[in-house]
């Protein structure tokens, strides 16, 4: 009689004793010339939930140059959920450079020992997060779509897309602290600011010699994006996918967007085909959006696209396939050919909006 194979047992991973006293949740507040990137407030909203689940305080970390609204930014952090804020101000920190910012943040972590540190997955945040995680020798999960606390182990379960967006995986940093994560803009909801909230500002000295820094700032040139699409902050988006079949039919998306005063979005295959510019791509490899209304025409709803738009308040899907994945999470669905449905919607909205204009 053959012996039944034993089921593998899940090995419990213990936290390294060096990190048992690490506590609190931190959010690095990204600012440039006194202007805060909105993803920082979104992360504070999420950080508030994590801190409450752990029974700890939420801290904002503000790194800037003198005269760049450091204390005002700390006050705004309190309004968005932070309990306290660390403020590091120095002339060397006026413009972002990897070396001094990495030193500032790693020194702060080593001194005050947070258990969770979050940054926005922006150009600056990605560069800084990787350097800080490497310097500290801890784990970093990039482009997270969900963050959940295991209250028994105090581990942060960070979920992100993988295999080109076809699957979602959840990653834990079990032995080391802080647990680090980056989150793209518009993935998390923007919290409502509470003007009655206040907190403690902890000013931390920073010292570094300019001659020790390899990179030098020669000039600051603002990015002119006036003529570029701004999908992440659009209230209405009409997006098209492969179901439109050709570039001429993609014009139907533009027609409806014009009537609604909407931005135009596209799935990855559309951008790869050259029918739309990269700034209009919605999904894991494009933009993450949270509009009030998202109309998806001829888009199947694969995970790669879904993670970029399922935070929309209302999703209307148009697809010929009644079994398309997008109907599993859309609020309203139209089973039909987008090539015929889009012109009908355009005319209907045009007529209705015209009636409202006359009545008003």
pLDDT band at residue 355, thresholds of 50, 70 and 90?
confident
Q: Which two tokens stand for residue 308?
A: 């970029």
Is 179 part of any known ligand binding site? no
Q: How far apart are CA 322 and CA 266, in angstroms?
A: 21
Peptide bond connecting 299 to the previous residue in cis, omega within 30 degrees of 0:
no
The residue-averaged pLDDT of 324-349 equals 97
Is 267 part of any known ligand binding site? yes
**Which residues, 6 or more positions from 185, have their beta carbon under 8 angstroms from its beta carbon?**
37, 38, 39, 42, 120, 121, 122, 232, 288
Q: What is the pTM of this model?
A: 0.85
Is 69 part of any known ligand binding site? no
Please tell me the predicted confidence (pLDDT) of residue 255: 97
Q: Does the structure show a pLDDT above 60 at 312?
A: yes
The residue-averaged pLDDT of 192-205 equals 97
The residue-averaged pLDDT of 336-341 equals 97
Is 359 part of any known ligand binding site? no
- Phi, psi values for residue 309, rounded to 5°: -145, 0
The residue-averaged pLDDT of 163-182 equals 91
Is 303 part of any known ligand binding site? yes
Q: Does the structure show a pLDDT above 60 at 134?
A: yes
Are 259 and 349 in contact by the 8 Å Cβ rule? The answer is yes
Are 108 and 204 in contact by the 8 Å Cβ rule? The answer is yes
In the chain, % of residues over pLDDT 90: 86
Is 70 part of any known ligand binding site? no
Is 110 part of any known ligand binding site? no
- Phi, psi values for residue 234, rounded to 5°: -80, 145
Query: Tell me: the pLDDT tens digits for 55-95?
Result: 999 999 999 999 999 999 999 999 999 999 999 999 999 99
Is 300 part of any known ligand binding site? yes
Q: Does the structure show a pLDDT above 90 at 349?
A: yes
Query: Tell me: the pLDDT tens digits for 11-62?
Result: 678 999 999 999 999 999 999 999 999 999 999 999 999 999 999 999 999 9
Please tell me the predicted confidence (pLDDT) of residue 266: 97
Is 268 part of any known ligand binding site? yes
Are 354 and 264 in contact by the 8 Å Cβ rule? The answer is no
Is 249 part of any known ligand binding site? no
Strand extents, DSSP E, the chain: 25-29, 31-32, 35-36, 58-64, 84-89, 116-120, 140-141, 146-150, 155-162, 167-171, 179-183, 200-203, 236-240, 263-266, 293-297, 314-319, 332-335
Please tell me the predicted confidence (pLDDT) of residue 220: 83
Domains of the chain in start order, with CATH, are 15-210 (3.40.50.620), 229-355 (3.40.50.1220)
Query: Tell me: the pLDDT tens digits for 253-287?
Result: 999 999 999 999 999 999 999 999 999 999 988 99
Is 47 part of any known ligand binding site? no
In the chain, % of residues over pLDDT 70: 95
Q: Does the structure show a pLDDT above 70 at 225?
A: no
Nearest CA among 285, 278, 262, 286 for reference residue 297? 262
Q: Does the structure show a pLDDT above 90 at 236?
A: yes
Query: Tell me: the pLDDT tens digits for 99-111?
Result: 999 999 999 999 9
Please tell me the predicted confidence (pLDDT) of residue 229: 78
Q: Which two tokens stand for residue 171?
A: 């990653």
Helix 70-79 / helix 38-54 crossing angle, nearest 10 deg? 50
Q: Does the structure show a pLDDT above 90 at 290?
A: yes
């Amino acid at each position: 009689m053959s012996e039944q194979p034993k089921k593998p047992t899940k090995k419990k991973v213990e936290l390294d004793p060096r990190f048992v006293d690490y506590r609190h949740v931190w959010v690095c507040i990204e600012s440039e010339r006194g202007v805060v990137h909105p993803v920082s407030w979104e992360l504070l909203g999420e950080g508030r939930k994590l801190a409450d689940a752990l029974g700890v305080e939420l801290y904002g970390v503000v790194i800037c140059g003198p005269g760049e609204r450091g204390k005002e930014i700390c006050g705004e952090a309190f309004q968005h959920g932070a309990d306290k804020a660390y403020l590091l101000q120095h002339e060397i920190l006026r413009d972002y450079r990897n070396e001094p910012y990495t030193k500032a943040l790693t020194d702060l972590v080593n001194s005050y020992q947070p258990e969770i540190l979050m940054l926005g997955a922006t150009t600056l945040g990605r560069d800084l997060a990787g350097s800080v995680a490497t310097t500290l020798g801890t784990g970093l999960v990039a482009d997270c779509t969900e963050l959940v606390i295991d209250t028994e182990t105090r581990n942060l379960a960070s979920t992100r897309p993988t295999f080109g967006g076809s699957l979602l995986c959840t990653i834990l940093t079990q032995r080391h602290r802080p647990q680090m994560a980056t989150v793209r803009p518009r993935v998390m909801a923007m919290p409502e600011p509470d003007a009655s909230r206040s907190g403690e500002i902890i000013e931390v000295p920073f010292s570094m010699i300019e001659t020790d820094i390899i990179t030098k700032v020669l000039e600051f040139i603002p990015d002119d994006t006036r003529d570029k699409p701004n999908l992440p902050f659009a209230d209405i988006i009409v997006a098209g996918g492969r179901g439109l079949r050709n570039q001429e039919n993609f014009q139907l998306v533009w027609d409806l967007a014009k009537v609604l005063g909407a931005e135009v979005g596209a799935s990855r295959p559309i951008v790869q085909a050259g029918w739309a510019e990269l700034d209009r791509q919605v999904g894991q490899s494009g933009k993450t959006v949270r509009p009030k209304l998202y109309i998806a025409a001829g888009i199947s709803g694969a995970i790669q696209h879904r993670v970029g738009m399922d935070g929309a308040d209302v999703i209307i899907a148009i697809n010929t396939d009644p079994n398309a994945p997008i109907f599993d999470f859309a609020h309203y669905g139209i089973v039909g050919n987008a090539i015929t449905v889009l012109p009908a919607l355009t005319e209907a909205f045009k007529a209705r909006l015209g009636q409202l204009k006359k009545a008003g």
